[in-house]
Amino acid sequence: MTDVEEELEHHRVALTGYCYRMLGSGFEAEDAVQETFVRAWRTYDPARGGLRAWLFHLATNVCFDMLRGPQRRARAMDLGPAATPGDALGEPLPESRWIQPVPDVRVLDPAELAVTRETVRLAFVAALQHLPPRQRAVLILRDVLKWSAAETATLLSTTVTSVNSALQRARAKLPPAAEADETVDESLLARYVSAFERYDVAALVSLLHEDATSSMPPFAWWLRGREHIRTVLTAAAASGDAPCAGSRLLPARANGSPAFGQYLNGEPFALVVLDVAGGRIASETTYLDPGLFPFFGLPMSFAAPLRTG
Stretch(es) of the chain classified as CATH 1.20.140.160: 1-69+113-172
Residue pair 87/228 in contact (Cβ under 8 Å)? The answer is no
Element spanning 251, H or E: strand 248-254
pLDDT in tens, 8-32: 889 999 999 999 999 999 999 999 9
* 141 pLDDT above the threshold of 90: yes
pLDDT > 70 in the chain, percent = 93
pLDDT of residue 114: 56
Reported pTM: 0.92
CATH among 3.10.450.50, 3.40.50.720, 3.50.50.60, 2.40.420.20 for 186-296: 3.10.450.50
* Banded pLDDT at 297 (limits 50, 70, 90): very high
* Banded pLDDT at 50 (limits 50, 70, 90): confident
Name the residue with higher pLDDT: 70 or 306. Answer: 70
* Banded pLDDT at 272 (limits 50, 70, 90): very high
* Banded pLDDT at 304 (limits 50, 70, 90): low
Q: How, if at all, do strands 267-277 and 280-287 pair?
A: antiparallel
106: nearest Cα among 22, 32, 14 = 14
Q: Say if domain 1-69+113-172 classifies as CATH 1.20.140.160.
A: yes
Provide mean pLDDT across the span 33-40: 95
Helix axes 12-23, 26-43, angle to 10 degrees: 130
The whole-chain average pLDDT of the chain stands at 91
Stretch(es) of the chain classified as CATH 3.10.450.50: 186-296
* Banded pLDDT at 286 (limits 50, 70, 90): very high
pLDDT of residue 133: 96
pLDDT in tens, 57-113: 999 999 999 999 777 899 999 999 999 999 999 999 999 999 999 999 999 987 665
Q: How, if at all, do strands 208-215 and 280-287 pair?
A: parallel
* 4 pLDDT above the threshold of 90: no
pLDDT > 90 in the chain, percent = 76
Length of the chain: 309
